[in-house]
Amino acid sequence: MTTRIGVVTFPGSLDDRDAQRAIRIAGAEPVALWHKDKDLKQVDAVVLPGGFSYGDYLRAGAISRFSPVMETLIDQAKAGLPVLGICNGFQILAETHLLPGAMLRNNHLHFICREQKLRVENAGTAWTSDYEAGQEILIPLKNADGRYTADEYTLDKLEAEGRVAFRYLTDGPEADGYGNPNGSLRNIAGITNEAGNVVGLMPHPEHAVESLTGGGTDGLPFFTSIIKKLVSA
């Protein structure tokens, strides 16, 4: 049976087709989901893609949180459905409280677009099992509201429970000048929920899935990880 992974399109989504392509390259079947449709079409997992849903009006991800598809998705995610939020998708997951914390405007107040070095902190989630803890990867990043923030209690809890999934590589010769791109607290680039089925991150793994584009394939394990997880379930 082919693994079916849904990709939600909101008004203003611009990386939904890229996410679908990444899923196809990894060996699964991408399923287009429209934000006004509550039906998830019996998919095995869902990706909330990057972009500027609703133009980022009010607050990034704040309006999408109330889209009809999210009513179903929130319940399904709490029941164990694997969900990956990329950039704007991460912002939406924070707005729905499926993941803790919030995204603020980058500390330098500029949109940033570059390749970004990350360190994998948690290789035990549904979306990261094809990585190794401590592995360093290079993933494209593009955002204006990517500064992860949370209160000290939440940050300490994430650290203690191993729920920081990715961190910006900012020190040592490996950082090579990449540093923290947006001022995220504790250099957090991505986190997971307690169950490990919901993961959000600001960088864009769907843009690093084939060597043809010159960006490498460091993002492909996100999609192979979830396929292996679902096949073995």
Token look-up 């969900």 returns 83
DSSP 8-class letter at 39: -
Residue with token string 């990585």: 131
Give the type of residue at 122.
Answer: N
Map residue 229 onto helix, strand or coil.
helix
Cβ within 8 Å of residue 160, ≥6 positions away: none
Q: Helices then strands (H, E): number in the chain?
A: 5, 11
Instruction: Indicate the burial class of 211 (C-beta count within 10 angstroms; 0-12, 13-18, 19 or more).
Output: exposed
Q: Which residues are catalytic?
A: 87, 204, 206
CA–CA dist 90, 199 (Å, integer): 8
Give the E-state strand segments of the chain in sequence order. Answer: 4-9, 29-34, 45-48, 83-86, 102-104, 112-120, 136-143, 147-149, 164-168, 188-192, 198-201
Bridge partner list, 104: 147
Residue type for 225, please?
S
